[in-house]
């Protein structure tokens, strides 16, 4: 029984199947017009940063600009900059002079960037930027409560809805006014990484009033096909569909609740196969359906920590050696937890070598995690192995060019003449 299930698992992992969309979404551009409303962009920005995305601001020029006459911001990029990273998600927010959405240069840029981006997201009157660029035609949309009439009068091709927190057309998501941007951004996170992950983000922000799916969501054909015709039928034409990993995980949670565990497992495995660096939270979904099917699961992260405390690093290494062969690729260690334990129990007590070894173990499980690599670099630096530390800092920055901690580290080492 155990062997069979394990085989299936590996076979599924070897499918290199992808839907229409890019599964690895990282870059989120937020366009800031003059006198932009503060919470319109800071709310979603906070959500996206906590959720681990790379967020940057773009404005017409790179000059200082004002938000509601209160905040003075230096945008990361101006429209003329050649080096603006191509966004996976482009965000337009409200406030300021609405006619900026008609500004030729902005409109042109919005059109180009928005069509390059996988997801177009707007908050409040930011919907006018998407509307001007023609991206809402034939779609359902919403905006700030007192701009609803204006949007529907000026753009008859848009189905404008009132009294809804957000509208999700699949790739185009618009939200109601100001604070609704927070809810909308959490919905985007739920779409990409799953509702459980988004709820974790909300709890970090103490925004526990967030209710998942409390908006208008246009149904997804792929997910519907899985739900009504089964996973195996849906998968046949997978390349015709557009869907996101979080949506798959959410469907899996629904199927799991209904007791349809095999289908749930297939959805989770498909989501994992599309992820570059899945987290333990994603694997927790798999753990749950495995357990319910009576299949064996790897020990939990807590168990590893217990072994570490009782038997030391060698005990953990031995266990990891055994488990990693049986559960290939499975993320059974909680990176945050292990980093914390290594820091408190070893580093702070002067045992840098064990802290290093613990991080090495973590690195084996998360070879593509820039933060894990960065922390490992820190321990190398502390144990006076600067050449290896620098290698690791550079490696982590290569994995995530926007890991500002690694960037700062390299900058300060350069300043000291050590690089």
By the criterion CB under 8 A, which residues form the site for other proteins?
37-39, 42-43, 45-46, 49, 55-57, 64, 68-76, 98-99, 144-147, 149-150, 176-180, 182, 203-207, 209, 404-405
- Please report, for residues 231, 256, 288, 296, the alpha-carbon distance to residue 293 in angstroms, rounded to integers and kept in the order given: 18, 10, 9, 9
Min dist CB 38 to other proteins, Å, is 4
Across 166-317, the runs of DSSP E, i.e. the strands, are 166-168, 172-175, 216-217
Min dist CB 36 to other proteins, Å, is 11
CB 286 within 8 A of CB 266: no
Cβ-based nearer residue to other proteins, 281 or 303: 281
Q: Which one is catalytic: 65, 93, 113, 124? A: 124
Cβ-based nearer residue to other proteins, 8 or 73: 73
Min dist CB 73 to other proteins, Å, is 6
Cβ-based nearer residue to other proteins, 17 or 71: 71
DSSP helix/strand/coil, 217 = strand
Cβ-based nearer residue to other proteins, 332 or 374: 374
The interaxial angle of helices 221-229 and 245-257, nearest 10 deg, is 30
CB 119 within 8 A of CB 24: no
The rounded distance, in Å, linking the Cα atoms of 84 and 116 is 12
Cα Rg, the chain, nearest whole Å? 23
**Phi, psi of 294, rounded to the nearest 5 degrees:** 80, 15
Q: Active-site residue 124, yes or no?
A: yes
The rounded distance, in Å, linking the Cα atoms of 301 and 208 is 26
CB 377 within 8 A of CB 408: no
Cβ-based nearer residue to other proteins, 90 or 182: 182
Token pair belonging to 57: 């601001």
Min dist CB 150 to other proteins, Å, is 6
Sheet holding 172-175, edge to edge: 77-78, 54-59, 27-32, 89-92, 119-122, 172-175, 166-168, 216-217
Cβ-based nearer residue to other proteins, 1 or 70: 70
Min dist CB 357 to other proteins, Å, is 28
Compute how many other C-beta atoms are within 10 angstroms of the C-beta atom of residue 240.
10
Min dist CB 415 to other proteins, Å, is 17
CB 191 within 8 A of CB 168: yes
Min dist CB 31 to other proteins, Å, is 14
**Phi, psi of 168, rounded to the nearest 5 degrees:** -115, 110
Cβ-based nearer residue to other proteins, 104 or 209: 209
Across 213-282, the runs of DSSP E, i.e. the strands, are 216-217
Which residues carry out catalysis? 124
């Amino acid at each position: 029984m155990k062997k069979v299930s394990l085989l299936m698992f590996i076979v599924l992992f070897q499918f290199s199947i992808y839907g229409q969309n890019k599964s690895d979404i990282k870059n989120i551009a937020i366009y800031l017009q003059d006198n932009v409303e503060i919470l319109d962009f800071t709310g979603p920005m906070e959500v996206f940063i906590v959720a681990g995305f790379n967020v940057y601001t773009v404005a017409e020029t790179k000059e200082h600009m004002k938000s509601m006459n209160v905040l003075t911001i230096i945008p990361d990029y101006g429209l003329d900059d050649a080096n603006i990273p191509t966004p996976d998600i482009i965000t337009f927010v409200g406030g300021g002079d609405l006619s900026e959405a008609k500004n030729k240069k902005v409109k042109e840029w919005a059109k180009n960037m928005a069509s390059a981006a996988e997801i177009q997201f707007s908050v409040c009157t930011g919907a006018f930027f998407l509307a001007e660029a023609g991206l809402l035609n034939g779609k359902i949309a919403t905006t700030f409560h007192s701009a609803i009439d204006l949007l529907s009068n000026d753009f008859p091709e848009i189905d404008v809805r009132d009294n809804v927190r957000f509208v999700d057309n699949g790739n185009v998501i618009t939200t109601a006014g100001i604070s609704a941007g927070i809810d909308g951004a959490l919905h985007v996170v739920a779409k990409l990484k799953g509702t459980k992950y988004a709820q974790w983000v909300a709890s970090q922000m103490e925004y526990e009033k967030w209710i998942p799916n409390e908006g208008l969501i246009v149904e997804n054909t792929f997910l519907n096909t899985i739900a009504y015709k089964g996973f195996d039928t849906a998968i046949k034409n997978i390349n015709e569909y557009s869907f996101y990993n979080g949506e798959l995980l959410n469907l899996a949670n629904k199927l799991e609740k209904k007791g349809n565990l095999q289908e749930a497992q297939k959805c989770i495995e498909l989501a994992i196969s599309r992820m570059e660096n899945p987290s333990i939270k994603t694997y927790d979904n798999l753990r749950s359906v495995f357990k319910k099917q009576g299949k064996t699961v790897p020990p939990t992260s807590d168990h590893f920590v217990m072994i570490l405390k009782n038997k030391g690093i060698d005990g953990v290494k031995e266990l990891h050696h055994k488990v990693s062969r049986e559960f290939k690729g499975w993320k059974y260690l909680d990176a945050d937890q292990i980093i914390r334990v290594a820091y408190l129990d070893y580093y702070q007590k002067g045992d840098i070598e064990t802290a290093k070894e613990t991080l090495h173990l973590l690195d084996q499980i998360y070879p593509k995690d820039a933060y894990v690599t960065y922390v490992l670099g820190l321990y190398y630096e502390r144990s006076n192995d600067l050449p290896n530390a620098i290698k690791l800092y550079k490696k982590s920055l290569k994995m995530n060019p926007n890991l500002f901690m690694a960037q700062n580290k390299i900058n300060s080492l350069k300043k000291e003449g050590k690089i």
